[in-house]
Amino acid sequence: MNGEIEQQIQQLRQQLQEASYAYYVLDAPIMADEVYDRLYRDLQELEFDYPELITPESPTQRVGEKPATQFYSVKHNIPLYSLENAFDLAEFTKWQERWQRVAQSQSLGANQGVEYVCELKIDGSALALTYENGVLVRGATRGDGISGEDITQNVKTIRSIPLKLNLDNPPPIVEVRGEAFLSLAVFEEINREREKAGEQLFANPRNAAAGTLRQLDSKIVDKRKLDFFAYTLHFDEPVGAVDGAYPPLPTDEGNHGGIAPTENQIAPGNEGKTQWESLDLLQRRGFKVNPNRQLCYSLEEVWEYYELWDTERRNLPYMTDGVVVKINSVLLQKQLGFTQRFPRWAIALKYPAQEVPTIVEAVTIQVGRTGALTPVAELKPVQLAGTTVSRASLHNSDRISALNLHIGDTVIVRKAGEIIPEVVRLLPELRPSHAQLFQMPSCCPECQQPVVREKGEAVTRCINTSCPAILRGSLIHFCSRDALDINGVGEKLVQQMVDHNLLNSVADLYDLTVERLMNMERMGAKLATKLIGAIGNSKTQPWPRVLYGLGIRQVGSVNAQLLTERFSNVEELAAASAASIEGVYGIGPEIAQSVYQWFQVPANQSLIERLKTTGLQLKSEVKTQTTAKNNLQLVGKTFVITGTLPTMKRDEAKDLIQKAGGKVTNSVSAKTNYVVVGEDAGSKLEKAQSFGIQQLSESELREMLEQP
């Protein structure tokens, strides 16, 4: 019977993987959404009934069930270097002269007939993906180029990254490098949601992509719809086998061993003799590769490509900040090698930033949910990077003072990351005689109460807890997707409810009734009932989300998770000293002081007492103290898990080890301290035995975790 079930599961996975590849990589759907959803549910149900048949590459395993507690540093097999930049033709020509001198000194004979591959430089975040026997086992950030952070669970949420390579007989280790990014449409959608929630906007898609990849909760990452373009393919020995070693790159002798791989196989030495072939191979094996690449036969052709995309990039659905130029021959790449920081065989041609002059017609003040006053320049509308710009943030009073800004000044505006307009500088020689010096207000424009600027801060704040702007921002944040996730309650509805005196605090949400909501304009019984239901559903949201929803300064979703793992209920956190809060792993003194002071405010104390009566989850089901700095018994220890454990999934064991301060890697090396062994352990166990590494059963691991 199990054999039939296993076959059924494999068939479902194959269908889903093919549909996902067609949709996310080829942009050519082969299956209706409803059919995909039904097949996905069928697979979920089978895996629920037969958990022993769940594998890491299953489509159901893209999103983790539990948030991570922190990320761990991992060493790259091959250094993940950044590229040298060139900003004009002269710098680009100097790059060519430099690598040609190196080639000449080594008698490489490579100064004639050199081909270049030009690819768009995607404005995102670099990733290194490691596949063992064809299965994705690790995704890491660039970091410092030598080591990055292991963000595997987040990487798995990116649908354009295959969990399993499209190969019949994959090499033991394959590493793929590429760029994770957000499309402009998705980026704008994320910022709209953040604006509604009263959260700080991402400055550009690159920052948004990087911030998303470092989210501890992979469910949040999944919602943000990251994409991925692959651009490099490597083969290597198992992770950790040779520290910092370079892999054997392909040579003119072809693939190793003299056996030609079949259409659906690749072997070391056959990953492509050229960069162009490698890109083609990546695309045929399930990866998304940027289609706007070009093979060029001279520097003149390279420059033509650069000038073309300097214009055409504004029509792309994603951000590109330049062109990456690589020597096509992989053999020549290997021979030229690297400087201490960059590869000699590649360079990034960066686009110039677009700047335009315009006039500051006024400065308005926005008040955020934390009371922060943000000055905004109201500009004479101007065209910039394909859009009309009429407003730009001035950040704070220090920035205004540094500019010596007057109303009527002519300023230079550019788009930071070509998305967020910013004032770069002003042109004082064009200042009109009627220009007036702008000064930050001494009272809040919303409530007219005095504002303060605390020592050491650049931000001016309103500290009136009854300020309408703070109330609106707090309500929007409390209902936002990452907090209580109250569907249907957005900025406009919050404003409407505040105007009708229905809400004076977040606790008032839970006193609303259908009848009271129907007193508002355009609010029928059906919509009112739906909203009351959504508010009621929020009572099941866990304690970390509730804490985040309170809007305490400097407490984002990550810090809320850390705090609630140490303080299992709101009473414990409210009674904690600043020193005790700072004792939580990952919480610094400023955050600790902010949390402590929030709970000392009488109005906040009253709010907590009211929230206790609503049925909200203000406590955790199980108290853990593994995040306390003095209770991390596995700090400095590295574990590898192999085989099927009797009662725990691998992710559960990994989570327990990481919460106790240990590190879990995917491959055995001389630096591994323990190997946790289950049934059907494979080559990892054999390698551990060869190194003499201590083996642990599941029960022995539990005993180790329970030790004080």
What are the catalytic residues? 121
| Contact between 515 and 525 (Cβ < 8 Å) | no
**C-alpha closest to that of 378 among 358, 397, 404:** 358
**C-alpha closest to that of 542 among 67, 206, 91, 147:** 67
Q: Give how far the C-alpha of residue 694 lies from the chain's centroid of Cα atoms, to the nearest Å.
A: 35
| Contact between 539 and 617 (Cβ < 8 Å) | yes
Burial of 553 per CB tally in 10 Å (0-12, 13-18, 19+): middle
Kindly state the tokens that stand for 203. Answer: 């400055």
| Contact between 359 and 410 (Cβ < 8 Å) | yes
Kindly state the tokens that stand for 104. Answer: 């000449």
DSSP symbol at 628: B
Sequence-ordered list of residues with C-beta below 8 angstroms from that of 625, at least 6 positions apart, any chain: 565, 566, 631
Kindly state the tokens that stand for 25. Answer: 């990589």
Kindly state the tokens that stand for 67. Answer: 């948030």
Q: Which helix (H) or strand (E) holds 360?
A: strand 355-367
Q: Give how far the C-alpha of residue 239 lies from the chain's centroid of Cα atoms, to the nearest Å.
A: 24
Q: How far apart are CA 360 and CA 394, in angstroms?
A: 11
Q: Count of CB atoms within 10 A of residue 309's CB?
A: 22
DSSP symbol at 511: G
Q: Is 699 helix (H, G, I), strand (E, B) or coil?
A: helix
Q: What is the residue whose two structure tokens read 């957005």?
A: 490
Which amino acid, one-letter code, is at 484?
L
**C-alpha closest to that of 396 among 447, 354, 353, 440:** 440
**C-alpha closest to that of 354 among 292, 431, 419:** 419
Q: Give how far the C-alpha of residue 504 lies from the chain's centroid of Cα atoms, to the nearest Å.
A: 35
Sequence-ordered list of residues with C-beta below 8 angstroms from that of 697, at least 6 positions apart, any chain: 676, 677
Q: How far apart are CA 694 and CA 130, in angstroms?
A: 25
Sequence-ordered list of residues with C-beta below 8 angstroms from that of 28, at least 6 positions apart, any chain: 22
**Which alpha helices (H) appear in 22-127, and where do they start and end?**
33-49, 89-105
**Which alpha helices (H) appear in 286-386, and where do they start and end?**
299-312, 330-336
Kindly state the tokens that stand for 240. Answer: 């950790």
| Contact between 654 and 681 (Cβ < 8 Å) | no
Q: How far apart are CA 255 and CA 672, in angstroms?
A: 32
Kindly state the tokens that stand for 361. Answer: 């017609």
| Three state DSSP letters for 362-400 | EEEEEECCCCEEEEEEEEEEEEECCEEEEEEECCCHHHH
Helices 589-600 and 602-612: crossing angle in degrees, nearest 10, is 80
In our burial notation (b when 16+ CB lie closer than 10 A, e otherwise), range 98-126 reads ebeebbeeeeeebeeebbbbbbbbbbbbb
